[in-house]
Structure 1
Amino acid sequence: MFEDTLELAENKLLLLYIFDKIKFPVSNNQITEIILENNFINYFTLQQYLTELLSSKFLRYTSESGSHRFLITEKGVKVLSLFKNRISDSKIQIVDDYLNKEIDSIKKEVTVTADYTIEQNNNFIVNLKALENDSILIDIKINVASNKQAKNLCEKWKSNSSELYGKIMHMLIED
């Protein structure tokens, strides 16, 4: 029983450590990917821990363009600073290595968004957005005729947003 309690505490602290280390809001999918890729916690236990960390106000939700993202609170940072030594060094090393390798990819997912909604008469509104340091660089809404076109635009934006942004800016600014 005592070992289970220690493991629960270490896992919740590990989650707080990850959120603190990332330093920007992340989605449930992103934190799930980090945890599952490193085999720290199973999916269902992770979701339970996230709910508990939210209810105890160690994490909070932030809504950016309609999507919920997790962010560590001051209370969470304080608890982490008091009990960080309870996280095994090997897990900290794994997290640090993973984040050093993947942080740009995680940031890109946060700062570049592409989604779509269905409107009347089977029209789709595609919303393409890019942020830099919480400032909107570009926010475009485009009406397209099919679900396929909407998905295609979203995929292109996510995979090539900086080049597309540059081309759009060049076309708009060019004399």
Structure 2
Amino acid sequence: MAGQGFIHDKLELKFLILYIAARVIEPIPFDTMLDLTMCDDAVDYFDFTECLRDLVDTEHLTLSQDGLYSITEKGLRNSKICESSLAYSVRLRCDKNLEVWNRKLRRKSQVKASWEQRPNGTYTVRLSLDDDAGSLMDLKLMAVREDMAKLLANRFRQSPEKLYGQIMNLLLEDSQGGKPKG
């Protein structure tokens, strides 16, 4: 193992990888697994790749066709047994990093924006916003050019809650442009 840190051998590194895989809310790519695992200064890239491959070979993790890693039942069982072997400070750093990553994953699953070309050459832009209870908004718009469709999708991703609020206010205000009723 490289550098100064709490992870001293490949077995501890495998425990760390399982700890992370057990707490991430959806399958993740190699780069993300690497970033999350580098929370300890002693983790070495080459040891990491070897341990990750070993965990897939021993069926503690799966690797999808899309290159996403996820934990198996076997991996979950072993992670629970071994997590106390990890240094408390390493677990704290992991938990902090995982909280940030999981928040990004939740946000990505709640805010969706896509476009597709119609047979007539225009584009349909689909914008959707969900929360933990379900769908808040599902909106389809027509754009005449692809660059406009991309712009609409990108702007929606930046502040979907603001757009949702503006639409609600417009629909709720009275016919003279006054404040929303209710």
Q: Is TM more than 0.5 here?
A: yes
TM-score, structure 2 length as denominator?
0.61
Preserved CA contact (<8 Å) 1:124 1:144: yes
Equivalence for 1:14: 16
Partner of 1:64: none
Paired residue for 2:56? 52
Deviation, structure 1 residue 155: 1.4
Residues 94 and 153 (structure 1), Cα distance of their counterparts in 2 relative to 1, 3 Å cut = same
The equivalent of 1:126 in structure 2 is 125
Distance 1:35 1:150, change over 3 A: farther
Structure 1 residue 162, shift from structure 2 partner: 0.9
- Amino acid of the structure 2 residue aligned with 1:52: V
How many residues end up aligned between the 2 structures? 159
Paired position in structure 2 for 1:158: 157
- With over 3 angstroms needed to count, the CA separation of the structure-2 counterparts of 1:153 and 1:37, relative to structure 1, is farther
State the secondary structure of the residue aligned to 1:122: coil
TM-fit CA distance, 1:99:
3.2
Distance 2:15 2:166 in 1: 44
Query: What is the 5 A alignment of 1:82-161?
Result: 82-101=81-100, 103-133=102-132, 135-161=134-160
* Equivalent AA in structure 1 for residue 115 of structure 2: Y
- Kindly tell me: are residues 36 and 78 of structure 1, through their superposed partners in 2, closer, same or farther at Cα, counting changes over 3 Å? same
SS at match of 1:136: strand
Structure showing greater radius of gyration is 2
Unaligned runs of 5+ in 1: 1-5, 62-66
Cα distance in 2 between the residues matched to 1:38 and 1:70: 13
Q: Give the stretch that moved more between structures: 31-40 or 146-155.
A: 31-40
Root-mean-square deviation (Å): 4.0
One-letter amino acid matched to 1:18: I
Residue 77 (structure 1) aligns with? 76
SS of residue matched to 1:142:
strand
C-alpha change, 1:136 and 1:68, in structure 2 (3 Å) is farther
Note the residue ranges of structure 2 that are not aligned, 5 or more in a row.
Answer: 1-8, 175-182
Per the alignment, do residues 20 and 131 of structure 1 end up closer, same or farther by CA in structure 2, a change over 3 Å counting? farther
In 2, Cα distance between equivalents of 1:142 and 1:79: 49
Measured in 1, the distance between the counterparts of 2:14 and 2:155 equals: 36
Structure 1 residue 160: Cα displacement: 0.3
Higher helix residue share:
1
- TM-aligned CA distance change 1:163 to 1:58, over 3 Å: same
Residue 113 of structure 1 aligns with an amino acid whose one-letter code is K
